[in-house]
Structure 1
Amino acid sequence: MRVEQQPGYILHARPYRETSLLLDVFCRDHGRVGLVARGVRRERSRIPRGVLQPMQPLLLDWVSRGELGTLVAADVASAPFALAGDRLLAAMYLNELVLRLCARNDAHPLAFGAYAQCLDRLAGMDPPGWTLRRFERELLSDLGYALVLDRDASGHALAPQQDYAYDPEAGARVAAGDSRLPPVSGAALLAFGTDVMPDSAQQLQLRRLMRSVIRHHLGGELNAWTWGRSVLPASPGSG
């Protein structure tokens, strides 16, 4: 199968043999794809290695005959997203999240659109913590793990002043003091469901909630969570 001019982003690259790279790529119509970029580590390469960078919108051509495809061409689609500091760390977290949650060769065009929008927001003025929460919500929804954010596990409307514990398999339940799940207010859940940025305390609750939900679906931890510096900013103004 030959694929041409496919919009995509490099999620991760690592050396392969003496002159090549193994790429994990997130594409609009093919999802997460593994590609071999042959010879790109040579001084003179048909595909410039500098093009194959994360946060760079690309148009990719490849030939696939098995689990791994062979990259044929990579064209710059637009300027790279200019990210630094916590916003760059947030984008690195974004890439790891897609790598870990998305199966190979499983198309998720809605998640792809949300990914591109998230990078655009990180490159702009949007608060990075809230930007990541929104992407996490959209990614989980497109993968079939949508959160129910307007009613509890019994089907009753959420009460803004009530604290809940969110079970990834069942939904929100009234929080008990001994719950293993982090508490989150009904007001925070309702704001999240209507895409209204909550206050900083509620954003911290949502951060803990989403970490708990993602951990459940991964069956483990993300490397980004162990970095010395947080890539999941909690407050609207944090970088």
Structure 2
Amino acid sequence: MRVELQAAYVLHTRSYRDTSLLVEFFTPQHGRISAVAKGVRASSKLAKQKRSLLQAFKPLLISWGGKSDLKSLFHIEALASSYALQGERLFSAMYINELLSRLLHSEEDSEDIFYLYQQLLSQLNQQEPVDIILRRFELSLLECLGYGIELQSIADSGEPIHAEGHYQYFPEQGFRPYHGSQAVLNSFSGADLLAIAAQDFQPAARAAAKRLCRQVLGFYLGSKPLKSRELFL
């Protein structure tokens, strides 16, 4: 099957054989695609031009084909310049690329997530605090993947979460009342949960949202650590 002129972003590249690259693309209609970009590491001027397009955060149009999971890249062109991200904003975008590489299914419609990703890159290019941009994306990504977090009601009973209460989070279940006298890693105040649900990211809710998203994403990512987190450290 051959797919023509699909919007795409590069998530990851690595060397493949002598002169090629193995490229992981993110596309709206086909999700995550792995393709061989043949000869782009050669020394010719044309190879260098093609290789220069295979950069993260650059809007692309690509064509590919093949019956196996590893496709052949036939065509690539730039739709616009790369997003000029630096420092923390660059590292944050790299972290999101790794999340998508780990969590997206291959060749599965991902239009909603693709739109969120475009929004994310645009927002990272502006002045809003990075952690708020990331939390919004992470929560929306989990929702799109079917792993959404119910922040306003208790697991099983469906009773509402109250601002004055305290709750523990359990993966794939949700929140249950917590009556302990000391805070534990997976416990959260009802006020913070309701603020996160309303995307009212005041300082306490921002810290709680980061802790919650790390726990939820960690469950679905498994034990293999994210390499991009090392960049933050």
Q: Is contact 1:215–1:221 with CA below 8 Å preserved after alignment? A: no
Distance in 2 of aligned mates of 1:179 and 1:104: 40
Per-residue Cα deviation, 1:12-62 (whole angstroms, up to 9, x for no partner): 000001110001111010000100000011122356211100011111111
Q: Secondary structure at the match of 2:232?
A: coil
In the alignment, structure 1 residue 42 sits paired with structure 2 residue 42: yes
Aligned partners of 1:19 and 1:120: how far apart in 2?
33
Deviations 1:172-231 (A, max 9, x none): 11235478642222222222223x23212221111111111111112224324751625x
Counterpart secondary structure, 1:36: strand
Equivalent residue number for residue 63 of structure 2: 61
- Aligned counterpart in structure 1 of residue 193 of structure 2, from 181, 189, 193: 189
Greater shift, 10-19 or 158-167, is seen at 158-167
- Residue aligning to 1:30: 30
1:218/1:179 CA distance change after superposition, 3 Å:
farther
Structure 1 position 167, deviation (Å) = 1.5
Give the alignment's Cα RMSD to 1 decimal. Answer: 1.8
Q: Quote the residue 1:52 is aligned against.
A: 54
* 2:100 aligned with 1:98: yes
Amino acid at match of 2:78: V
Contact 1:167-1:181 within 8 A present in 2 as well: no
Q: What is the match of residue 209 of structure 2?
A: 206
2:122 aligns with: 120
Partner of 1:168: 171
| Contact 1:161–1:186 under 8 Å retained in 2 | yes
Structure 1 CA distance for aligned equivalents of residues 210 and 228 of structure 2: 12
Paired residue total = 229
TM-score (norm 2): 0.91
What's the TM-score once normalised by structure 1's chain length?
0.89
Question: Could you list the runs of 5+ residues in structure 2 that have no partner in the other structure?
Answer: none
Contact 1:32 1:107 in 2 (8 A): no
What's the offset of the Cα at 1:160? 1.6
Structure 1 residue matching 2:56: 3-state secondary structure: coil
Supply the distance in 1 between the matched residues of 2:134 and 2:227 (Cα, whole angstroms): 13
Inter-partner Cα distance in structure 1 for 2:179 and 2:7? 47
Find the aligned partners of 2:4 and 2:222 in 1 and give their Cα distance: 35
Corresponding residue for residue 233 of structure 1 = none
Moved more, 125-134 or 153-162: 153-162
1:151 is matched with 153
How far has the Cα of 1:123 moved from its partner? 1.0
Conservation of the 8 A alpha-carbon contact between 2:166 and 2:190: yes
Q: Residues 224 and 17 (structure 1 numbering): CA distance in 2 closer, same or farther, change over 3 Å?
A: closer
**Identity, % of aligned pairs?**
38
* Structure 1 stretches of at least 4 aligned residues deviating more than 3 Å after TM superposition: 176-181
* Cα distance between partner residues in 2 of 1:229 and 1:104: 28
Separation of aligned partners in 2, 1:49 and 1:226? 26
SS state at 1:227 partner: helix
**Distance in 2 (alpha carbons) for counterparts of 1:222 and 1:98:** 14
Match of 2:222 among 219, 224, 234: 219
Deviation for aligned residue 1:79: 2.1
State the distance in 2 between where 1:102 and 1:48 align.
26
Distance in 2, Cα, partners of 1:116 & 1:75: 18
> What amino acid maps onto 1:61 in structure 2?
S
Note the C-alpha offset of 1:158: 1.3
